[in-house]
């Protein structure tokens, strides 16, 4: 069973190892500790049965009713088990309680698994950044996605928006 809870103080190094397992250009423990310390930061961690080691996390910030996902990572060994979706749903509920109106994120257009997750949650395209991501196959575009949290809250989190 997976439990979702706020990050604990001093977990930057642990989350950095997880981030490194999920991304080619990982964030350092220091960078993550700085982000965790932000007053506006919301960091949720998914933990397995042992309750110790994270198998995923989402890091967002919320300022003046607008939220942005800075990173979401799931350990490659734990993927395809609904962890990212559970992290996102818990984050959305938390942001609704904080009365955020919109949630934004950027995703590599080549990341079909992430796009499927975000589409299923009701995110819509708000923009595109050409050549934003550098990859082995050359530059790749980033889609800027937006979720209308007010509409979702009014619909009881049943996102009725037009999908991507």
pLDDT by residue (tens digit) across 66-91?
999 999 999 999 898 999 999 999 99
Domain spans of the chain?
1-80, 101-164
> pTM of the prediction?
0.86
Domain 1-80 sits in CATH 3.40.630.30: yes
Which ranges constitute the DSSP H helices of the chain? 12-22, 29-36, 83-97, 112-121, 149-154
pLDDT tens per residue across span 20-37: 999 888 999 999 998 888
The CATH T-level fold of domain 101-164 is Aminopeptidase (3.40.630)
Going by pLDDT thresholds of 50, 70 and 90, the confidence category of residue 9 is: confident
In order of 62, 77, 98, 142, 149, the CA distances from 65 in angstroms are 6, 35, 8, 23, 10
pLDDT at residue 24, rounded to an integer: 83
Report pLDDT digits (tens) over 100-148. 999 999 999 999 999 999 999 999 999 999 999 887 778 899 999 999 9
């Amino acid at each position: 069973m997976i439990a979702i809870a706020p990050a604990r103080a001093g977990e930057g190094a642990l989350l950095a190892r997880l981030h490194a397992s999920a991304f080619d250009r990982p964030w350092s423990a220091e960078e993550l500790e700085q982000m965790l310390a932000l007053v506006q930061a919301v960091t949720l961690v998914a933990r397995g049965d042992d309750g110790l080691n994270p198998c995923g996390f989402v890091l967002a910030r919320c300022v003046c009713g607008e939220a942005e996902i800075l990173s979401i990572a799931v350990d490659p060994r734990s993927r395809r088990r609904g962890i990212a979706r559970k992290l996102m749903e818990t984050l959305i509920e938390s942001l609704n309680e904080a009365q955020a109106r919109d949630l934004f994120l950027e995703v590599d257009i080549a990341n079909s698994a992430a796009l499927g997750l975000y589409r299923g949650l009701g995110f819509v395209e708000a923009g595109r950044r050409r050549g934003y991501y550098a990859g082995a196959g050359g530059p790749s575009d980033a889609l800027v996605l937006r979720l209308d949290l007010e509409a979702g809250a009014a619909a009881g989190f049943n996102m009725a928006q037009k999908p991507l």
